[in-house]
Amino acid sequence: MKIAVLPGDGIGTEIVTEALKVLKALDLNLTLETALVGGAAFEAHGHPLPESTLQLAMASDAVLFGAVGDWKYDTLDRPLRPEQAILGLRKNLGLFANFRPAICYKQLTDASSLKPELVAGLDILIIRELTGDIYFGQPRGRRIATDGHFPGSEEAFDTMRYSRPEIERIAHIAFQAAQKRSKRVTSVDKANVLETFQFWKDIVSEVGKQYPDVALDHMYVDNAAMQLVKAPKKFDVVVTGNMFGDILSDAAAMLTGSIGMLPSASLNAKNQGLYEPSHGSAPDIAGQGVANPLATILSAAMMLRFSLNQPEAASRIEAAVDTVLSQGLRTPDIYSPGTNKVSTREMGDAVVKALK
Ligand code: NAD
């Protein structure tokens, strides 16, 4: 089992170091190969996703990714900016299914912006289609003038589109994920207004007939946004398009308290995946040893479960994270009075200890 390890920039290197410690402690037969990506790769090779890094990622079973970006690259031409590396990896690996679990650990309910009783025990899985929808329809690639306006034009438009196979494959992923959980899928659409999402709804329903053990319901995106903050525990697996998923998954993320706790996975049809925390490179705290490594450690657990077929090892990591939280260990982002503030490294060490 070969893993491409791409720490990236900012806190990326610090948090990936801790995730690697945890993976190594499991004594699995893993080959870990590290490469540069993002700003670090730009500095060394003049490109955020050098060919050697891309080839390594494509030849691996999974990619463990830290984060990329720094304000100092904001003036670079867009294709050279660190964030382009993620888009390049998504495109070249064909990563069409994005999994964003939003789990609120009972030990952290006070950190949520909602009342503890609304989020205690929250465990939602948002599955976002990642390579279609309005983000990839015409006029993708239109050049915008440097002042941010469309030269000589009084309108702008984007095209929302989905093809049948694109909807079918993400629907299958959602139903299969639900079979391993509480067997409920909510498909989020805007079928009352948009043809694309009437099509989406019809096809998800069709695919659903192949999964009679899974209950399917449909919800309009505006209602889903409302329900997410009113009664989030109503949801289990949520499947939706690229744009709605982008927005809803960030809203769901905040229900859990800290972005430092949230893992993610992006998968292709061969179950090859890119695993990364939901947050960015946090340049404001980089190098201080205060970043929360748990999102990355939990991303490594998702990698073991989804791409490397090691569900028991994944569960061990998740249980170890639960243990360290119960021990009261907190990086500053999740600290509250009465708990014990620890550094990035101390948190990683504690997870390793809890594994054993
Ligand atoms: P960010 O997620 O990096 O940081 C937002 C806030 O959350 C900051 O205050 C940061 O300190 C805090 N934070 C993030 N992760 C944390 C962690 N593990 N522990 C504790 N606190 C944490 O978002 P941003 O500040 O908007 O972006 C910073 C850079 O990251 C930008 O260059 C942006 O483009 C890039 N970015 C990269 C990715 C990615 O690599 N996938 C995703 C989002 C943003």
Write out pLDDT tens, residues 109-127. Answer: 888 889 999 999 899 999 9
Q: Which among 84, 85, 13, 62 is positioned nearest to 264, based on CA atoms?
A: 62
Pocket test for ligand 1, best of 108, 250, 281, 346 (most atoms within 8 A of CB): 281
pLDDT of residue 106: 87
pLDDT of residue 153: 67
Write out pLDDT tens, residues 319-346. Answer: 999 999 999 999 999 998 899 999 999 9
What are the residue ranges of helices labelled H in 67-184? 84-93, 116-119, 164-179
The CA 329 to ligand 1 mean position distance, Å, reads 22
Write out pLDDT tens, residues 230-247. Answer: 999 999 999 999 999 999
Tell me: pLDDT of 228 over 80. yes
Tell which atom from ligand 1 comes closest to the C-alpha of 276.
41
| % of the chain with per-residue pLDDT over 70 | 96
Domain spanning 113-256, CATH class: alpha beta
Can you tell me the distance from the alpha carbon of 320 to that of 194, in angstroms, rounded to the nearest whole number? 45
User: Using an 8 Å Cβ cutoff, are 316 and 289 in contact?
Assistant: no
User: Using an 8 Å Cβ cutoff, are 99 and 264 in contact?
Assistant: yes
The CA 246 to ligand 1 mean position distance, Å, reads 16
pLDDT of residue 250: 85
Tell which atom from ligand 1 comes closest to the C-alpha of 12.
40
pTM over 0.85: yes
Tokens 């992923």 label which residue?
Answer: 173
The CA 117 to ligand 1 mean position distance, Å, reads 28
Domain ranges of the chain: 1-96+262-356, 113-256
Question: Do 1-96+262-356 and 113-256 show the same overall fold?
Answer: yes
Domain 1-96+262-356 CATH assignment equals 3.90.550.10: no
What are the residue ranges of helices labelled H in 195-309? 195-208, 221-230, 242-255, 294-306
Lining residues, ligand 1, CB within 6 Å: 11, 15, 67-70, 83, 86, 259-260, 276, 279-285, 291-292, 295, 333
Pocket test for ligand 1, best of 279, 284, 292, 330 (most atoms within 8 A of CB): 279
Write out pLDDT tens, residues 154-183. Answer: 777 889 999 999 999 999 999 999 998 999
The CA 213 to ligand 1 mean position distance, Å, reads 39
Per-residue pLDDT band for 356 (boundaries 50, 70, 90) equals confident
Per-residue pLDDT band for 253 (boundaries 50, 70, 90) equals confident
Tell me: pLDDT of 258 over 90. no
pLDDT of residue 322: 95
Residues marked active site are found at 135, 190, 222, 246, 250
Residue range 263-272: average pLDDT?
A: 93
pLDDT of residue 254: 83
Write out pLDDT tens, residues 26-41. Answer: 999 999 999 999 999 9
Tell which atom from ligand 1 comes closest to the C-alpha of 8.
40
C-alpha atoms less than 13 angstroms from C-alpha of 180 in its C-beta half-sphere: 10
Tell which atom from ligand 1 comes closest to the C-alpha of 283.
28
Q: Which among 137, 135, 243, 230 is positioned nearest to 188, based on CA atoms?
A: 243
Q: Which among 47, 93, 96, 94 is positioned nearest to 68, based on CA atoms?
A: 47
